A = this chain, B = another copy of it.
Amino acid sequence: MFDTVRKTRIIIIDDHPLVSAGLESLLAREEDFEVIGTFASGLAGLAFLAQNQADIVILDISLPDVNGVDLCLKIKSLLPQCDVLALSNHTERMLMMQMLQNGASGYLLKNAPIDEIINGIKDCLKGEMAFSKEVKAIMLKPSVNELGTRPKITKREKQILKLIEEGKTTVAMADLLFVSPLTIETHRRNLMQKFGVKNALELIKISREQLLL
């Protein structure tokens, strides 16, 4: 068997060449690590993964083609034995939760110290969950609007939420979607109720914090 001497095969998917290069050069210092591929787009990485055996994917969330959350799910469903470790700038709780729910083995922040990142990768390979310090802090304290479960919002509501964020008035939205202004008002009202806020300004603030559309 070669398994005991074989190096850990790492894949990096991150659209910032600087980050990829930095990570690669750091990992090169470790004896038992081998970066077998770095990709600046999600689909390119996925294509490579389908054809090459990897032990761990270090995955950014903001990618040009697909988002890391969806990609994580995809990877885990195709290659359940391959670990996925999120490495992101985003500090939104929701994103962390979503990544974990989709099978990620950890969540590291890009602004974390180098050793936190390296150790995170090692922990991950040992089968432990890996979180950078700041991530732990964010995940531990429950946010105000999330004591129960986060509100489920419908497709239409999401659509209207976006228009609200763009500063559209009720009438403008109604014209745009070919429905009655009263319908829009109902949607907005339902949104506000679901998020537990009392005006549209708060609505977009909260939605930004929670969903990060």
Copies per complex? 2
From B19, B200, B206, contact of A18 by CB (8 A): B19
Query: A26 — nearest CB in chain B belongs to which residue?
Result: B21
A23-B22, A25-B22 given as contacts; is B114 within 8 A of A17 (CB)? yes
A94 to chain B, nearest CB (A): 18
- Decide: B18 and A25 in contact? CB cutoff 8 A: no
Band of interface residues on A: 20 to 34
Interface string of A19-54 (1 = CB under 8 A from B): 111110110000000000000000000000000000
Q: Is A142 an interface residue (CB 8 A)?
A: no
Q: Is A95 an interface residue (CB 8 A)?
A: no
A-B contact pairs, 16 of them (CB 8 A): A16-B111, A17-B111, A17-B117, A18-B23, A18-B110, A19-B22, A20-B22, A21-B22, A21-B25, A22-B25, A166-B205, A167-B201, A167-B203, A167-B204, A167-B206, A200-B201
